[in-house]
Amino acid sequence: MSQSIFQAIKAYLQSIGDARSMNTARTYGTAMNAFAAFINTQDLPTHQTEISELSEDVVALFATDLKTLSPATEQLYLTAVAGFFEFLVAERLADINLPRVRLLIRKRSRKPGIRLPQFPKQQIDEIIYYANNLASFQVNDQRERMINLRDRAFILTLADTGLRVHEACNLRRGDLDWNERKAIVKGKGNREAIVRFSQRSLNALKDYLAARAMLDGSSGRQLASLALFARHDKGAGKKVKHMTPTTGRNIIYHRVTEAIGPEAGKNITPHSFRHYFVTTVLIGSGGNLKLAQSLARHQNIAVTQRYAHLSASDLDQGYMEIFEPKQAPKD
């Protein structure tokens, strides 16, 4: 029995969810929702139209419709759609000319330009300073103290490890080797990698875990299996539940707003701390791109090279010191 376009898209997204990370599945879902909405405008209602009626020509029309989006978003959506057509062929759901699909995408899509990461380094330094002082804030109860210590540890961990927000939120206590100061994380594409921790982030984590020792001990579970960063909202109660990336983003927004103001809260995200990490490594290592690439876990060194411009102020200072040294004071 032939499936409808809607059913085929649903099956495709299910296959993505089974094989790829949660973030990838969410991104593909957004792309395919946009594709389904576009198909509905082409007199092909997705719930009623059989998938066998879908032609590869719709890809060209969809690509044209995406021109209002950024080239990067366009590429992402078309990648998801190309994967959908490959899925249809693999599952023998439709007679699709895949080389033609690829040709249409190649001819119609724009190449995303190189985007240089931008972030306010000075403001992030201020936020880190603010986070360090969270441990000394006056609190009304133990729960509030745990939240302060957790947020301090979370911010310092993001800044000093380069972890992505979902990677940090997925960490368990047992993932962290305290003696080696390392943790094994699952990054993009479910690839495992080793992440190193600074002493200040470890100290912040120890303070946080010590404050929630009673909560962890009463959980009835092995400590190694418990979330490294846990929820402490009223909905979590006395259970030790992993923070979600949404919670992680809310923490950053809340603390950035407290430290600097609401305008900064709109611009500084958890990923800003990853930019901060890569730049700190580049500056501290004298521009060692291979080191920065390895520590940031970039598959392509071209991604790391985008950060090189961020140390331009240090180059300016070095140039001035060489070519325009300070004049000796006159007697």
Token look-up 């946080």 returns: 208
Q: 136 and 91, same structural domain?
A: no
Angle between the N-to-C axes of helices 121-132 and 245-259, in degrees from 0 to 180, rounded to the nearest 10: 90
**pLDDT (tens digit per residue) in 132-175:** 999 999 988 989 999 999 999 999 999 999 999 999 999 999 99
Q: How confident is the model at residue 29 (pLDDT cuts 50, 70, 90)?
A: very high
**Residue that finishes a domain, picked among 45, 76, 108:** 108
| Residue 314 scores a pLDDT above 60 | no
pLDDT at 137: 92
Q: How confident is the model at residue 202 (pLDDT cuts 50, 70, 90)?
A: very high
Percent of the chain with pLDDT over 90: 43
The chain-wide mean pLDDT, for the chain, equals: 85
| Residue 197 scores a pLDDT above 90 | yes
**pLDDT (tens digit per residue) in 253-300:** 999 999 998 888 788 999 999 888 888 888 887 778 888 888 888 877
Q: How confident is the model at residue 111 (pLDDT cuts 50, 70, 90)?
A: low
- The whole-number average pLDDT for the span 214-225 is 91
Q: 93 and 14, same structural domain?
A: yes
**Lowest mean pLDDT across 139-143, 185-189, 214-218, 319-323:** 319-323
Bigger pLDDT: 330 or 79? Answer: 79
- Rounded to whole angstroms, what are the CA distances from 264 to 8, 140, 261, 313? 43, 27, 6, 22
pLDDT at 247: 94
Q: Is residue 283 part of a domain?
A: no
**Residue that finishes a domain, picked among 273, 290, 317:** 273
**Interatomic CA distance for residues 39 and 59, integer angstroms:** 10
Domain at 263, CATH number: 1.10.443.10
pLDDT at 107: 82
Q: 167 and 25, same structural domain?
A: no
- Please list, residue by residue across 29-65, b when 16 or more beta carbons sit within 10 angstroms of its beta carbon and e when fewer do: eebbebbbebbeeeebebeebbbeebebebbbbbbeb
pLDDT at 279: 85
Q: 127 and 50, same structural domain?
A: no
Q: Is residue 198 part of a domain?
A: yes
**Contact call for residues 173 and 209 (beta carbons, < 8 A):** yes
Tokens standing for residue 205: 């984590």
- The whole-number average pLDDT for the span 197-207 is 95
- Rounded to whole angstroms, what are the CA distances from 257 to 136, 168, 244, 260? 19, 21, 20, 5
- Cβ contacts of 309 within 8 Å, gap of 6 or more: 116
Bigger pLDDT: 241 or 309? Answer: 241
**pLDDT (tens digit per residue) in 7-19:** 999 999 999 988 8
Q: 95 and 168, same structural domain?
A: no
Q: 159 and 86, same structural domain?
A: no
Q: Is residue 207 part of a domain?
A: yes
CA dihedral of 284, 288, 290, 294, whole degrees rounded to 10:
0
- The whole-number average pLDDT for the span 180-207 is 88
Residues of the domain holding 183: 121-273
Counted domains in the chain: 2
Q: Is residue 161 part of a domain?
A: yes
| Residue 326 scores a pLDDT above 60 | no
| Residue 191 scores a pLDDT above 60 | yes
